[in-house]
Every structure is written in structure tokens, then in C-alpha cells.
């Protein structure tokens, strides 16, 4: 019994150390490659910068922003999410494009562990962007529109603003793993978020279906007010985005495990 317990303890310790090493290796890669660490920083600057600039320029003059302060507070996120998409795609996609994924798998042979380390690290950086970006945007917007901070929905909107970048990065990482191609992932995700989704939301025939797209559902959670044309609540919108992100992450794992590198 003692021998079995000792063996199990050593195996658990070795697994923990291996996971820690995988996370450390991914952290080193991310912080030493400029194309990786500069994108979340750009996302943060765009998010806070655009929100503050628009609030300073428009103030309370534009009713489209003040009628629903959630739109004004998170206005910069519309631009910052572009850098977040690039960050997620580059985090995994450039290893496929440069064929360095083989070297990574040599260092971490278990594909699920390597993929999990990338997901964890990407989500952690996205959480930092969400926290700092939401805090900065809220401070910048309420400096010019003070009433925006006095609303029952402010806690939910701010919480959604913190979680939205995390879910977006997980979603993009999963799709990149499924596509296994940097160019294809970038070409699909950026136009999908900035062109396809908004366009479909404006077409009467498909508007009801388009509201269930991940970015549309997640962004609805940012708003203060209800939209009678939306078929779900604000928290449900965030849950819908989380389901999309979880499905994409799982699909990426299956593709990564089953396909030869």
C-alpha cells in the first residue's frame, strides 16, 4: 500500500511539473516574440483610447451612446477586439505556418497538454486586457459622462466587459487549432467579426439567427438596456458566447489530436 501510494504521489508530482514546464515554455515564447506580446498591449490601448477619445469628443451630445451607456463604455472594444483576434491566431497559428509546431510537440509530446497551456496562457493575457481595458474605459467614459456609472446594470456590464476578451481569445484559439492554418484563421475570423456578423444583424431575414453568433451574443451582455428584438437576456448572451468558445476549444483539441502534424 505504501509503495503504491508513493508511486502515485511521484506520478502526480511529475505530471504537475510537466504542466508547469509547458506553461513556462509558452510564457517564454509569448514574452520574447514581439508579434505576440505587442498584440494584447495594442488591444488594451485601442480599447481604452477609443472609448476615452469618443467620450471626450462627443460627451452627452450623442444620444446613441448616452441612451445606453454600456455602448459608450465599451465603444473601444469594437476596435480592441481586432488585436485580440490577431493575438489568439498568432499564438497558435504561426507555429503551424513556420512548422515550429513539430519542435513544440517534441518538447511537450502530449498534444492536449501543449494545447491546454496555450489556452491557459491566452486566456490569462485576455483576462488582463479585459480587467485593465474595462477599468480604463469605464474611468475614461464616466469622466465625461458621469451618469453612466449610476445604473443598476453597471456591474453586469463591467463583468461582461472583463469576460468578453477571454471568451473571444478561447474561441479564436479553438478555431485556429481546427483550421491548422494561420492565414485561413485570420481570413475567417477578422472579416467574420467586423463584416459578416454586423451585416447579418442588419438583414431582416437572418437577423434573428445572427443574434446567436458568438460576438453578437457576447456584446449584448455589455449593454445596459434591453432590446425587445433579442430573444434572450443579457447574461444568457454571455452564456451563448461561452458555449461557442467551449465548442471551438473542444473541436480544436479533437483536430489537434487526430491529425498528423
pLDDT in tens, 53-96: 999 988 777 676 778 889 999 999 999 999 999 999 998 888 88
- The rounded percent of the chain whose pLDDT value lies above 70 is 92
User: Sorting pLDDT into bands at 50, 70 and 90, what band is 7?
Assistant: very low
Mean pLDDT of the chain: 85
Three cell numbers at 159? 463583468
Per-residue pLDDT, 24: 84
- Look at residue 5 in the predicted model and tell me its pLDDT: 44
Q: What is the pLDDT of residue 197?
A: 78
Of 93, 124, 116, 101, the C-alpha closest to 250 is: 116
State residue 112's pLDDT score.
85
pLDDT bin (cut points 50, 70, 90) of residue 97 is confident
pTM of the model: 0.88
Rounded Cα distance, 221 and 148, in Å: 16
Q: Does 205 score more than 90 pLDDT?
A: no
pLDDT, position 41: 94
Amino acid at each position: 500500500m505504501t509503495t503504491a501510494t508513493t508511486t502515485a504521489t511521484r506520478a502526480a508530482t511529475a505530471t504537475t511539473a510537466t504542466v508547469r514546464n509547458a506553461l513556462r515554455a509558452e510564457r517564454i515564447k509569448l514574452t520574447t516574440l514581439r508579434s505576440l506580446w505587442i498584440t494584447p498591449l495594442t488591444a488594451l490601448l485601442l480599447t481604452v483610447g477609443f472609448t476615452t477619445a469618443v467620450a471626450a469628443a462627443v460627451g452627452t451630445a450623442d444620444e446613441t451612446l448616452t441612451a445606453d451607456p454600456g455602448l459608450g463604455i465599451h465603444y473601444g472594444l469594437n476596435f480592441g477586439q481586432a488585436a485580440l483576434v490577431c493575438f489568439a491566431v498568432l499564438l497558435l497559428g504561426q507555429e503551424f505556418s513556420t512548422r515550429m509546431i513539430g519542435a513544440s510537440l517534441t518538447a511537450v509530446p502530449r498534444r492536449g497538454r501543449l494545447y491546454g497551456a496555450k489556452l491557459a496562457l491566452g486566456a490569462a493575457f485576455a483576462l488582463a486586457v479585459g480587467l485593465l481595458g474595462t477599468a480604463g474605459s469605464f474611468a475614461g467614459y464616466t469622466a465625461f459622462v458621469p451618469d453612466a456609472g449610476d445604473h443598476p446594470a453597471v456591474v453586469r456590464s463591467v463583468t461582461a466587459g472583463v469576460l468578453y476578451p477571454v471568451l473571444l481569445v478561447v474561441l479564436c484559439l479553438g478555431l485556429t487549432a481546427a483550421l491548422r492554418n494561420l492565414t485561413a484563421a485570420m481570413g475567417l475570423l477578422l472579416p467574420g467579426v467586423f463584416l459578416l456578423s454586423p451585416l447579418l444583424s442588419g438583414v431582416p431575414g437572418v437577423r434573428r439567427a445572427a443574434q446567436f453568433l458568438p460576438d453578437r451574443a457576447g456584446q449584448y451582455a455589455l449593454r445596459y438596456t434591453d432590446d425587445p428584438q433579442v430573444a434572450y437576456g443579457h447574461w444568457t448572451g454571455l452564456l451563448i458566447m461561452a458555449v461557442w468558445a467551449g465548442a471551438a476549444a473542444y473541436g480544436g483539441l479533437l483536430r489537434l489530436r487526430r491529425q498528423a502534424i
